Amino acid sequence: MAITKKPFGTVDGREAVLYVITNANGAKIALTDFGAALVQLWMPDRCGVFDDVVLGYDDAPGYTAPKGHLGAPVGRNANRIANASFVLNGVRYQLAKNNGENNLHSGPDFYEHRFWEGEEGEDGMSVIFRLDSPDGDQGFPGNAKISVTYTLTEDNAVRFTYDGVSDQDTIFNMTNHSYFNLAGQDAGTALDHKIMIPADTYAGTDSASIVTDPYVPVDGTVMDLRTPVRIGDGITAPFKPLLDCGGYDQSWNLSSPKEEDGLRLAAVLSEAKTGRVMKVYTDLPAVQFYTGNYVDYPGKGGHHYKPQESVCLETQYVPNAMNLEGVDQPFFKAGEAYHSVTEYRFSVEA
């Protein structure tokens, strides 16, 4: 199917573009070159009715909002870095402190508030967004060339492909911060959704959500999501990690095996009324499950998004990995290619 383009509003005197990809089934995604954000994601329910299942804004100026990261690719590093610093090759790099004493999502100069260069893929089902990130950008070393490719497949999967290379040793740990509600972006609470995460351990955190113990067993706790759990049944448990965050906002270490394509199952999200199911696959070791505990934003179509009306499933390295031992590290050598794939595969159940 062809990719269509249309104006999406003006930011700093530049006209943003909205790219829309539609497959043969009628599923479609919409993307903007301002922030390289996923703006819309339309999928059918069990009756063939399409709904937009991601939170977002009606135009590019909406994406200048300082909070939320709706639909945004996050980098160079996703999640929190303790004390907003890390050591690489014996040099300590200091980042901005935008989350108490810590750095969150490489802010406050986020990639989502920049124009990316968009290009339609030769397959007619993808859009590639490219960004040059200079040495010292956000505090990270190296001139980096970064790209995010969004692909809509004919079997209703949305694939995110991240690529990067730097002329100095640096960090690459990117994710997408889309908020999902499988009943529709304006449907209200997501507490009736069910979640399954195939993980034997999760990352233990302090009161500031900084990972201090990367491998805490889930056994006997509300963090055991190895079988489907109604989100609303677990979120109110008197369990300190949930109380510290106002709900789920933790990272799980994936224990599912990798398949032939190099991806492993990271999560299954389902919604009974519509029958929609979203399975998340990734080549990364962890997934952050966040229930939008602090969301309070005006969104698409005049809907005002509220806490726990949506779910984020952010694939990534273990948060704060660069300051921890015994975990996979997001360090990449000069000239070494960074490449990562995450897929959100949609289906329906009777």
Name the 3-class secondary structure at 179: coil
For residue 276, the tally of other CB atoms under 10 A from its CB is 25
Cβ-contact 172, 51 below 8 angstroms: no
Task: Give pLDDT tens digits for 220-270.
Answer: 999 999 999 999 998 988 999 999 999 999 999 999 999 999 999 999 999
Residue 69: active-site member: no
Cβ-contact 287, 254 below 8 angstroms: yes
Cβ-contact 28, 2 below 8 angstroms: no
Task: Give pLDDT tens digits for 96-107.
Answer: 999 999 999 999
Q: What is the pLDDT of residue 236?
A: 86
Task: Give pLDDT tens digits for 19-70.
Answer: 999 999 999 999 999 999 999 999 999 999 999 999 999 999 999 987 889 9
Cβ partners under 8 Å of residue 273, min gap 6: 183, 192
Q: What is the pLDDT of residue 67?
A: 80
Rounded to whole angstroms, the Cα distance separating 239 from 243 reads: 6
Structural domains of the chain ordered from first start: 3-348 (2.70.98.10)
What average pLDDT does the chain have? Answer: 97
Q: What is the pLDDT of residue 1?
A: 64
Rounded mean pLDDT, 291-296: 96
Q: What is the pLDDT of residue 65?
A: 84
User: Is the predicted pLDDT of residue 150 greater than 90, yes or no?
Assistant: yes
- DSSP, res 35: T
Name the 3-class secondary structure at 231: helix
User: Is the predicted pLDDT of residue 282 greater than 80, yes or no?
Assistant: yes
Task: Give pLDDT tens digits for 157-210.
Answer: 999 999 999 999 999 999 999 999 999 999 999 999 999 999 999 999 999 999
Backbone angles phi and psi of 205, in degrees to 5: -130, 165
Residue 260: active-site member: no
- The model carries a pTM of 0.97
Name the 3-class secondary structure at 173: strand
Task: Please state, in angstroms and as integers, the Cα–Cα distance from residue 218 to each residue in 200, 248, 264, 287, 324, following that order.
Answer: 6, 14, 19, 14, 20
> For residue 87, what pLDDT band results from cuts at 50, 70 and 90?
very high
Catalytic residue, from 69, 105, 112, 177: name it. Answer: 177
Q: What is the residue whose two structure tokens read 């999902």? A: 180
What is the separation, in whole angstroms, between the first and last Cα of the chain? 28
Catalytic residue, from 112, 271, 309, 314: name it. Answer: 314
Token pair recorded at residue 63: 């994406």
